Amino acid sequence: MSALELVERKKRGGSLSRSEISSLVDGFTRGHIPDYQMAAFLMAVWFRGLDAGETLALTESMMRSGRVLDLARIPGPKIDKHSTGGVGDKVSLPLIGIAMACGVRVPMLSGRALGHTGGTLDKLESIPGYVTAFDAERYERLLRHPGGTIVGQSDDLVPADRDLYALRDVTATVDCVPLIVASILSKKFAAGVDGVVLDVKVGSGAFMRDMEQARELARALVAVGAAFGRPVSVLFTRMDEPLGEAVGNAVEVVEAVEFLRGGGPEDLREVTFVLVAEMLRMGGLAASAEEGVSKARAACGDGSALACFRALVEGHGGRLDWDAPGCGLDVAPVAASLTAPRRASLAAVDGRQLGLAVVDLGGGRKRKQDLIDARVGLRWRARIGDVLEAGAPVADILAPPGMAVDAVRRRVEAALTWSDAAPPGAARVLGRYPDAG
């Protein structure tokens, strides 16, 4: 069967066999199937979906597009966490330091910015010298000591996800349950994890806009995990407004380090601690979520989490000025500030528009070949439910001198809904799957 015939069949709602899916993934990864045919396939999947067997076959073919690492000889639980993507979601950076300090080994295979959401690899590359390319010797060495590593897909580690991910980013095919499942779990299982904790983001700044879609994604993730014989658990967290204050690349690294120093915004701390606690439970290092959270807090308080994160960054060649304000990173100055138009409460935020504002500034990609400007971003200074006086700060736009930011400013303004009634502030952690029993 030619790729064209398979695209045609999926377009009409037919199903594909395991070997047909494998031939598509293989042909694309080897460069025999061009981007335009694969983009058509992805769009056909977006409209027609994949059944459980096809989703499993896609995950497996993508995982086997490169090496599948076996970490059995490294002692201790190897657990990773992955987010389905959000705005200002820098959780992976502090989380890995905390989890390592608590005794989990974290082989983290991350991605780049996707759609309007940021990517851990792009954030790390704002650190001078940090090498995100996978290198087998360094990977194993850092996993043994200090106990964690963050790398990207490569020619020999899930190249299919690297290439499909980049194509989905620019073809509006990201928000699709089977494609997300295969993308995330092919990476994680190729990286050699024992289990994965997933942060499924829900809301206007996420790919899953409501709890129904989020539950569908969670069920599919847990089912594919079970088929691979590995535990997958899901926490649902709210993603309509940014998590924390910093949105961008370098600014998010700075906020992550502030967090590990014992500061950082409360919502970021809450979500991170809950996710670490789940990793500890999965790895048999905490008997309950409460015990996990208190271990995580302690690792932040005694400096061990920061020491682990620092060793990880330096192990990848990264150079940060750890004691300087802003870690010595190049962050763009405030080019414009948004303030409350009158005394009112912030009732709702369209998080997707905030993410797109950062893409407009150059902090994300519109085409595959685009380079990212790590300096730009937003500083998010209000929270949904806050009652603000007229003129109170809401957001700063960070952009290099001379860059026109009027359109970005209008986009951010249009993303905000004000109300005279005070809506209740909403919880960040919305639930879990499977339910704790």
Interatomic CA distance for residues 362 and 351, integer angstroms: 17
Rule CB under 6 A: is residue 184 a binding residue for ligand URA? yes
Rule CB under 6 A: is residue 197 a binding residue for ligand URA? no
Q: Are 10 and 41 in contact (CB under 8 A)?
A: yes
Q: Within positions 138 to 167, which residues make up the interface with ligand URA, using CB under 6 A?
A: none
161 belongs to the catalytic site: yes
Interatomic CA distance for residues 90 and 121, integer angstroms: 11
Rule CB under 6 A: is residue 183 a binding residue for ligand URA? yes
- Tokens for 253, please give them: 């690294």
Q: Are 197 and 275 in contact (CB under 8 A)?
A: yes
Among 114, 142, 256, 274, contact with ligand URA (rule: CB under 6 A): 114
- Could you say which of 122, 161, 350, 360 is catalytic? 161
Residues in contact with 162: Cβ distance below 8 Å, sequence separation at least 6, in sequence order: 152, 153, 154
Rule CB under 6 A: is residue 257 a binding residue for ligand URA? no
Q: Which is nearer to ligand URA, 38 or 405 (CB)?
A: 38
Interatomic CA distance for residues 390 and 331, integer angstroms: 28
Q: Are 65 and 160 in contact (CB under 8 A)?
A: yes
Interatomic CA distance for residues 325 and 328, integer angstroms: 7
User: Per CB under 6 A, which region of 144-152, 176-184, 333-341, 361-369 contacts ligand URA?
Assistant: 176-184
Considering the complex, what minimum distance in angstroms separates the CB of residue 174 from ligand URA? Answer: 6
Rule CB under 6 A: is residue 374 a binding residue for ligand URA? no
User: Per CB under 6 A, which region of 73-81, 87-95, 124-132, 172-180 contacts ligand URA?
Assistant: 172-180
Among 77, 107, 111, 192, contact with ligand URA (rule: CB under 6 A): 111
- Could you say which of 90, 105, 168, 432 is catalytic? 168
Interatomic CA distance for residues 163 and 167, integer angstroms: 6
CA 430, chain centre distance (Å): 18
82 belongs to the catalytic site: yes
Rule CB under 6 A: is residue 296 a binding residue for ligand URA? no
- Tokens for 301, please give them: 């308080």
DSSP state string for 313-380? HHHTT----TTSGGGG---PPEEEEEE-SSSEEEEEE-HHHHHHHHIIIIIS-SSTTPPP-TT-EEEE
Rule CB under 6 A: is residue 85 a binding residue for ligand URA? yes
Rule CB under 6 A: is residue 208 a binding residue for ligand URA? no
Q: Which is nearer to ligand URA, 113 or 335 (CB)?
A: 113
Among 63, 91, 180, 329, contact with ligand URA (rule: CB under 6 A): 180
Q: Which is nearer to ligand URA, 111 or 146 (CB)?
A: 111
CA dihedral for 305, 311, 317, 321, sign (positive or negative): positive
- Could you say which of 65, 183, 204, 345 is catalytic? 183
Binding site for ligand URA (CB under 6 A): 84-85, 111, 114, 174, 179-180, 183-184
**Active-site residue numbers?**
82, 161, 168, 183, 187
